[in-house]
Every structure is written in structure tokens, then in C-alpha cells.
Amino acid sequence: MANVDKLLEHIGDFGPFQKKMVILGSLPLVFIPFVFVGVVFLGHTPDHWCWSPGSEQLLQECGWTEVKVREVTVPHGEEAGSFSRCQTFAVNWSQSWNRCEAFEQELTLNGSHAVPCDGWMFDKSHKTTVSEFSLVCEKAWLADLNQVFLASGFFTGAFVTGYVADRFGRKPCVVASMLGLGLTGVGIMLSPWYPLLLFLRFLQGFCGKGAWTATYVLGRR
């Protein structure tokens, strides 16, 4: 133990080299929190309501506004002024379109018969994975898989990347993990299919864990 103490005195305390390693190692980790909390924004469920091709016809043929279309085609929700998000009135869209007032009256009388939505209209102020892939109503549980696959990637990466860092070196592991983290982020942004997005989220968690653990060990040396 005495020899170790003398060696530490010779090496020195927390010096310039250690400070440089900590600073350089911390820079990549700045992006890790965005991977964690990004789902709060990407997975947000915006305001939405039932929509159908017939609603488009009402806008064009009858000159109605979106608010009026919702008033006569979508049931009201439990809260005052709100509309149902998962149901719409059963409508026969094949009838004549030159009788808009009569059509409005028929919709009003038919208001007791509601059916599940075939499609949705989302608030256009911002776009999320929920609005892009229509993850609402009976598909709402799919939106939670976004974070589940990320956590699964972290869990798997904790076992695999530790061995990779010991086998091939921590610096190559950090570089490869950060490269993978960037590529998966771009892939998630451009993904046209939700299953592909979930797979990329898994890889993002895997690479994020590799960058995290390897950088931490480098900073402790």
C-alpha cells in the first residue's frame, strides 16, 4: 500500500490530463438526455377527432368549416365543447350532395348512432409519432412501446458493449457508439414505418449505453 501511495504522489492528483479527459468525455454525453426525454415531445398525443372522405366533401361541396363539420359528424365528448376522439356518427355518404341543409338535418337526427373512427384529423400545430402513425384509441398502447424499446436497448447494451469495450478498447467503442447514435437518430426522424422506428429506438438505446459506459470508464482512469 505504501508503494501505491508513493506512485499516486508521483503521478499527481486531478491534473490537466484528467481534466481534459473528463471535459472531452462529457461532450458526447450531453446528447444522451435528449434520447431519454425526447419521447415527451415525439410521443405527445395532439388534439384529434374523427375524419372521413365524406368530411372533405362537406368542406368542398357545402362550403362548411372544419368546426361545423365536426359539429354534425362527431359526437360531443364528456367535457363541454369537446368532441369524441374515437367515435363518429354513422353517415350514408352516397346520398346527393346538392342538399347540404337537408344533409345537416339528417346528421343531427342520426346523432344517437355512433361507430368507431376509420381515420383521424390531428392538430396541425405540430407533428409527433402519434399523429404520423395514428397511434390513438385502440392503437394508443403502441405509442408506449417507443420508450419500452429504448429501455430494452439500454438493457441489452449494458451487457454487450461492456464486453466490446474490454475486447476492442474503450475509445473505439465510444466512437462507434456515438456514430451509431447519430445514424439511428436520423433514421428515426425519416422512418416511414412504426415497426422500423421501434427497431431504431432499440439500436439507439444500445448505442447510447455503449457511449455512456465506455466514456465513464475513460473518465475514471
Interatomic CA distance for residues 54 and 129, integer angstroms: 26
Q: Domain range spanning residue 103?
A: 48-122
State the pTM of this model.
Answer: 0.73
**Are residues 167 and 102 located together in one domain of the fold?**
no
**Are residues 52 and 117 located together in one domain of the fold?**
yes
Q: What is the mean pLDDT of residues 105-110?
A: 58
**Are residues 170 and 194 located together in one domain of the fold?**
yes
**Domain assignment present for 118:** yes
**Domain assignment present for 176:** yes
**Model pLDDT, residue 23:** 75
Rg of the chain taking only CA atoms, in angstroms? 27
| 3-state secondary structure at position 168 | helix
**Are residues 117 and 158 located together in one domain of the fold?**
no
Task: Tell me: pLDDT of 104 over 70.
Answer: no
Interatomic CA distance for residues 185 and 62, integer angstroms: 44
**Model pLDDT, residue 102:** 61
The confidence band for 152, taking pLDDT boundaries of 50, 70 and 90, is very high
pLDDT per position as a tens digit, 189-204: 898 999 999 999 999 9
- Evaluate whether 177 touches 207 at the Cβ level (below 8 Å): yes
Contacts of 86 (CB under 8 A, 6+ apart): 50, 116, 117, 136, 137, 138
**Domain assignment present for 39:** yes
Contacts of 162 (CB under 8 A, 6+ apart): 213
| Mean pLDDT score of the chain | 76
**Are residues 52 and 20 located together in one domain of the fold?**
no
Task: Tell me: pLDDT of 68 over 90.
Answer: no
**Domain assignment present for 1:** no
Of these ranges, 72-81, 130-139, 205-214, the one predicted with the greatest mean pLDDT is: 130-139
**Model pLDDT, residue 200:** 93
**Domain assignment present for 6:** no
**Domain assignment present for 130:** no
Lowest-confidence pick of 31-40, 197-206, 211-220: 211-220
**Model pLDDT, residue 197:** 92
**Are residues 107 and 216 located together in one domain of the fold?**
no
**Model pLDDT, residue 210:** 80
